Structures are given as structure tokens and as C-alpha cells.
Structure 1
Amino acid sequence: MDETVKPLRIPPEMSVYADKHHVSHLVQSLVSSLVMEQPDDPICFLISLLQRTSLDIPRVMLLGPAAVTRGTVAQRLSSELRAVHVTAETLLQDQSELSQHTEQGLGDELLVKLVQQRLKEIDCFNRGWVLDGIPQTRLQALTLQQLGVVPEHVVILVGGQQQQQHRELEGLSSAFQHVLKIISSDQPDADVYQQVLAFVRSRCYSRTPRILLLGPPGSGKSHQARLLSEKFKMVDVCCAQLLRSVAADASSLGEEIHPYLDTGRPVPDSLVLQVLEERLSRVDCSLRGWILHGFPGDLQQAKTLLESPHQPNRVFFLELSDDVCLERISQRATDPASGQSFSAVTRATLSSEVQTRLKTRPEDRPQSVTQRLNQYRIHVAALQSVFPDSVHVDANQDPHSVFETLESKLNSE
């Protein structure tokens, strides 16, 4: 790395403060209102918003086929929240125009235009709104979001007889995955309504993800971190790869680390923490979030991480037996050029050039793996005590199932 070009860093305390005081939620509310209203004097407009007693006005989308009592739930919800109940029918006040469009359906452009106009009106602005059956497609959802119509809560009601709606509902789900709850309508109406109400009364504050992924060697931490990074655009921070990258630099810190890696000795915690502090403070980690694996490995490292400005806000333990870990690692090979490890399954997809240079690392030999597993088992109880709110995931499944479990836990928190 050229030391004359310093990566942009953001003080980590800013991310912690923003999460604690829901700054992202506040900014999202202000920007959404600003885009929707487009006032002549945006500064005065924002000041007036901040002077309100509360910015937590309802912004709810209730979606799903009409046959699942959606309208009834939406009416009760609007009454309970004292919010404006908005449907495609109420958007068209002229009866002749209504009859013309109810036969053919509202086009995307017309529906989006009418929604935007309606939500700008003073009653929706002051009391909030419940959009009943709107949007109907992913395209409408994305267009509304671009225009500043950003919901706080999205509920999709699904019924057993609605298989033909599966594709449309999948598209809507992906557009709102971070504020979404899917509720089955195949239960008493009162139960459906209570579940919807409970969810809408919860706050869905957005947080910059700072994820810690722990587990024994061979549990799939690197693979799952890569999948999560690709899906959620967070930075994949593998401690071992990071140390190798820094050691390859001509920096003074790299020169200190290099001898430890050459001889296979553990890098002192003080040096590891310096490397992590520098990497996690960069602007990509501060803005997009990060997923860290390969650290901490014991009680003292975990406590040091919690005392640092880079506290994780989600912690996952991948659970796997020692026998399965040994079996997986015995089939693993590493590409010296990239430092990336590949299982027997993923190896088959590699080019012949990469396959010819794959090697088994000394630390992946059975005796070394057994020692690492023993070390993990010695410290795992202490690590779990430091992170009492951690989520435990069965890693003895195919990688896709593990990823789906991690994804669902992230979206539900």
C-alpha cells in the first residue's frame, strides 16, 4: 500500500452514536418528506419537521391478494392508528374515471402519480397513511421509493390458495425486505389483525450492520461471510487474510507482523487490534457495515473488541461437531495466489489453472486442525458469555440452507 495515499477514515464513534440514537431513521424520515413535498424553502421545511412533537407518524403498506381480508385489516388498522386509509379506489374520485379504470386496472404511471399526489395532502402528512393493496408490483414499489414514498412497515398477507401471486409477492418482498413481515391469512381474522398491529407498533430502525461470525474451524465462516457480503453489500473482513495483506505491505506495521506469519506464531493481540482498528475505520466499513470473522478467539480478545469503538451489533455462532469439521477441512485446499480456501465441492468449478496450484496448508493438516478445535472448545463458553444475545445457527446443513438461516435472522432483527 502506498503510504502517501491514506484511506478515508470515519471515526467509529459516529456509527455507534448513530445506531444508539436512531440517526439513520431520523435522516430517512426527513429526506423522505423532503423528496415528497419538494418545498421552495427546504431548510425551513426541515426545521418545521424537527419541531414536531413526533416524526413517528404511521407509514404502512398492507399488501397481498384482496381475498385474504386485506381490506378489513387495513380499515381497522387505519382507525386504530388514526391514519388515512388509501386504496386504488379512493384515489379516483371521479366515478366515470373510476369505472373506466376498474375494468382495465390502473397503469403503473397513473397509480404512482395518484399515490404521490394523495400522500402530499395535509391529512396524510400530519396523520400518516396506510396504503391498502398499493403497490401491486415491484416496478411500482421501486418507483414510489424513488419518489420518496418510503414505508416504515410493510405487511404482506399470504393465503394457501394464492399460488398464482407468488412471483409478484416475491418481487414486492425483495423491494421491502428490511421493513417487511409476512403473515399467513389462513387463521382467524382477529389473530391476523393482532399480528399486523403488533408489527406496525414496533419500530424498524435501520442499523449499519456490524456482524461478528464465530465458529470452529471448518464451520464455513469464510463462505458465509462472502455470501452475506455479496447480498448485503457489507465489507467482508477476514482477520487472517487482513493480516497477510498488511504483512505484504512495505509499512512499518506490516514489517512487525511479517515474522510472526513466517514462523507460524500467533500475531500479538496489540498488532491484530491495530490492523482491525485501521480497517474497520475506513469509510466503506463505516457506511456499508462489516462482517468480521477469525477474531476474537478468546475471552480477552472478545472483551477488548467490546471495549473498542467497533462493537458488533449482531453476533452469530456457527455450530458444528468436531468430526464434521475435521472431515470438511481434510477435503479443503487453498489457492496460494489469493489465500482463498475451497472445499471438494467448490473445487470442481475452478479453472484448471487455479486447480493446479491448490495446496493443503500446514494448518489444515489433521494434527493442526485438532489442536485448533481443542483451543476453540476451551474458549467457546467464555465467548458465548461475552455475547449473551448471540444467535446460534446449525452449520451441519448445506451452505445454502445456512445462508438462508443467517439471512432470515438478519432481516428479523
Structure 2
Amino acid sequence: MDETAKPLRISPQISIYADKHNIFHLVQSLLSSLVIDQPEDPICYLISLLQRSSSDIPRVMVLGPPAVGKHTVARELSAELRAVHVTTDSLLQDQSELRAQYTLPEQELPAELLVRLIQQRLNEIDCFNRGWVLEGIPQTHLQALSLQQAGVLPEHVVMLEAPDDVLLERTQGKLVDPLTGDVYHRTFIWPAAAAVTQRLEKQSRSEKQRLADLQRYRCEVTGLISAYQHVLKVINCDQPHTDVYQQVLAFVRTRRCSKTPRILLLGPPGSGKSHQARLLSEKFKMVDVCCGQLLRSVAADGSVLGEEIQTYLDDGRPVPDSLVLRVLEERLSRVDCSCRGWILHGFPRDLQQAKSLQESQHQPSRVFLLELTDDVCLERITLRATDPVSGERFHAVTQPAPSSEVQNRLRTRPEDSIHTLTHTLSQHRIHTAALQSVYPDAVHIDADQDPHSVFEALSSRLTEDTRGHTPLN
């Protein structure tokens, strides 16, 4: 095999050290800064970054619908943190041609243009030294993804929220100071100085325009939440402004603990482990490690170890734990698992395997147990079949084959027969109690519901951990 084609691996000792001290997060931040600033002397630049206390440099986004109070919160937060307050208007301040071309907020800036303007602004020395608060940026999911790809990664994202009727009421009483651009309201926020009160102007937007602005935001909010879910806090703004601001400030002052997730999914056959692992992998960017697929992949690679594993697969015998652990440890030591984390399923199946995994350098940080009765497991599995051409698995009820051609070539695996399944489920029940003794903190999830509901239950538990600034382990 070509040595250059071998996957990069990180020793378990280095992986544990790096995870303990947030090394991967630090490297990501340094690389992001290099991409943004592109210094002529990258070594000196990185040294200066390391000498700074990164926890004191705020990188905050304040998002929310029109009239929710983004401007006031961002302005006060910038003053409190001594960070640079960046708005779309300020980005276009010296761009007369662009200001004439784009009428805000009716026209949002194209993602490519926004990224270029943001990079230029964050490259300036004040943002570099003091940090920044982006107000209302990004506005769309596409803009968010473009900013992430360009290395603009916030430490905290505040999403202000309020019911539509409250927002529309606020837009009707909204007033702007033409001198400073500060926003006030007759009921919610009123200036203390009489001089400011006298020069306030009412915005000239019609009710139709206000409704269009709000609808445009509602179409994008789900994508924005998805893009920043790990650093996001949603705050209800249908309360006094002082209370809202104190919640924002408390969140921004909380350091985010970035730990590499190592997730273990347990559950009986048919509980949906593979499906949920794929969904969680896509959402949280973890590596999906299915033990069965991994063994088959190694068996097919032509290596000595693969040939040894293939003999067991051909005979229908279980692969010895010693070989399984060798394969798993090699896979979990690769740089993608070390940096992004992993979600493992299909192993361990019994007490000895669980102890062996705990004694390795790859202990899971979170364990989820999908619970399902034997009757439902049998119903689910006996109705599923595999396409020998694509390898894709279908189910007669929940995921039928897309065509009669595919349906006709589907095959049921021998291990999915009722007789074999009954024995497998019986063994699973025996081993489950022992596994729970190894993982007493495992989170139990009801898998007897639609896959989306199970996914939401799993996802919310992981999101709560990161939003609550609690390490996954």
C-alpha cells in the first residue's frame, strides 16, 4: 500500500492529552485566525495569538427577528465588553457604490460579498485586539455557512426571540436617533436625555414591509439555529429589557467548554442505532463508527488482519474480541475521530467487551441506551430487507423500496429470521443489565416512536450539554 494513502493516526496518549487541554479547539482557532488575517509572518502572528488570553477576546453574534431589540443589546454588550460593534450598515459605511446598490433590509447582501466585508473588518487591529459583536449578521443560513467556511467562528451566538404580535407592536412604536442610530421605543425603551427625545424620528416602513421582513426571518431561523447550535442560546425578549440584557451578559461571560464528543449507542436489534448514528453524525459532525461495517471494510482491504477477520465472517462465527478491539482502536485513533469525536454502535455487546473498551484509551464520554420491547424489535426486523446491489436497507412499512425493480431483488439476512432473532434478543436482555453496571449514567431513550422523535430526544440531550457549558464527559 502507498504510504501516503494511509490515514493519519494520533496515539491514544496524545489524544487524551489534547482532549484534556482543548488542544484541537486551540488549533482550530489558530487556523481560523490565519485564514482570516493571512499575515506575512505567520509564525510571529501565531506567537502573538498564543500570548493573548483568548478567553478575554469576545466573538459574539446577536441574531433575531426585526424589532426584537438586537441593536440595543449589541450596542450595550459591545460597550460592556469593550468590543467592536459591527453592523451591516457599518460594513457599508465607506462603500458608497454598494450602499446605492443594496437597499437594506429589503435586500440582504450576497453571501460572498458579506464574507469579504466581514473578513476585511475583522482583520482590522481594533477587532483583532478587542474582539467583536456582530449585530444581525448573518441573516440567512447560506450566509452562516459561508462565514463558517471562511473561518469566522463565534464563541457565543445570542438569538433573541419574541412572539410575532409583540414584534409587530414594537415596530409600530419604533423610533431612531438620526445622530447616533440608536433605537428607542415609546413603551419599551425611552431615552433619559430630553435632547435625544426631541430629535427622535419614526421609521417610514409600512406594515406590509414589516410583515415581509418578519416572514423573511422566520424562513431562515431554523437554518441559523442549525448552523450555530453548539454555541447558541435563545432568549425570550417578551420581558423587561434589563432582564433580557442580564441573561445575554451572563451567557456571553460563560466560557464554552469544548470537549471532543465520544458517544456510545446501545440497544437491541431493530432499535434504530445505525439510523440514529447517521443522523447524529450529520448534525454534530462526529465520525459514525459502526463496528459491523468497520469489520467488513477491514476484511475487504486485503491486509493480513483483514484476511483473518474474513475467515470468521465466511464461517458465520463471531470475530474474537481481541481482533475487534485492534480494529476499533486503530479506527478511533485516526485524526478525524480525535478531532471531531465519534459515535460508536454495534460494540460492546456484553460485559467483557464493555470492560475491554473501558480499559482502552477510547472510553465513551456519553452513553445512550435505546429501549424497545422484543415484540416491536421482531416486527421491525422481520419486515426489513437489504438490496444486494447498493447495500441499502429497506423496511416494508417505514422505508419501502423505491421501485419494483429494487423490491424484487431485496434479500433477508439469515440473522434476521424469527428463530435467530428470538435467540439474539434473549441474549441481549441478559447482557443489558451487565452493560448498565459498566455505564450507570447511560441515558435511556424510548425508541418505540418515530425516528425523528428519537433523533430529537438524542439531539436535545447533546445540545443541552453544550449549551449548558458542561463537558460531555
TM-score tier by shorter-chain length is: 0.7 to 0.9
C-alpha separation between the residues in 2 aligned to 1:138 and 1:226?
Answer: 22
Say if 1:185 and 1:192, in contact at 8 Å, map to a contact too: yes
Distance 1:104 1:220, change over 3 A: closer
Distance 1:5 1:375, change over 3 A: farther
* 1:23 CA drift (Å): 1.6
* 1:311 CA drift (Å): 2.9
Say if 2:87 and 2:136, in contact at 8 Å, map to a contact too: yes
- Partner in structure 2 of residue 69 of structure 1: 69
Match status 1:166 vs 2:218: yes
Match status 1:219 vs 2:260: no
Corresponding residue SS for 1:267: coil
Stretch moving more, 2-11 or 35-44: 2-11
* 1:72 CA drift (Å): 3.1
C-alpha separation between the residues in 2 aligned to 1:330 and 1:129?
Answer: 56
Corresponding residue SS for 2:397: helix
Say if 2:139 and 2:217, in contact at 8 Å, map to a contact too: no
Distance 1:376 1:68, change over 3 A: same
Q: Deviations over 1:212-236 (max 9, x none)?
A: 2111111011222233345555443
Say if 2:265 and 2:273, in contact at 8 Å, map to a contact too: yes
- Partner in structure 2 of residue 312 of structure 1: 364
* Partner of residue 395 from structure 1, selected from 447, 468, 472: 447
Match status 1:278 vs 2:327: no
- Partner in structure 2 of residue 57 of structure 1: 57
* 1:296 CA drift (Å): 0.5
What amino acid is the match of 1:141? Answer: A
Say if 1:24 and 1:207, in contact at 8 Å, map to a contact too: no
Match status 1:136 vs 2:139: yes
1:70-85 equivalences in 2 (<5 Å):
70-85=70-85
- Partner in structure 2 of residue 386 of structure 1: 438
Say if 2:159 and 2:235, in contact at 8 Å, map to a contact too: yes
Corresponding residue SS for 2:60: strand
Say if 2:160 and 2:235, in contact at 8 Å, map to a contact too: yes
- Partner in structure 1 of residue 126 of structure 2: 123
* 1:389 CA drift (Å): 4.4
Root-mean-square deviation (Å): 3.6
Q: TM-score, normalised by structure 1?
A: 0.84
C-alpha separation between the residues in 2 aligned to 1:279 and 1:45?
Answer: 35
- Partner in structure 2 of residue 294 of structure 1: 346
Q: Deviations over 1:337-365 (max 9, x none)?
A: 66654322355224444433433333323
1:29-44 equivalences in 2 (<5 Å):
29-44=29-44
Match status 1:10 vs 2:13: no
Distance 1:135 1:376, change over 3 A: same
Superposition misfits of 4+ residues, deviation over 6 angstroms: 2-6, 96-103
Stretch moving more, 235-244 or 85-94: 85-94
Say if 1:37 and 1:120, in contact at 8 Å, map to a contact too: yes
* 1:273 CA drift (Å): 1.0
Distance 1:118 1:332, change over 3 A: closer
C-alpha separation between the residues in 1 aligned to 2:301 and 2:119?
Answer: 53
* 1:148 CA drift (Å): 4.0
C-alpha separation between the residues in 2 aligned to 1:98 and 1:261?
Answer: 64
Flag structure 2 segments of 5+ consecutive residues without an equivalent: 165-213, 467-473
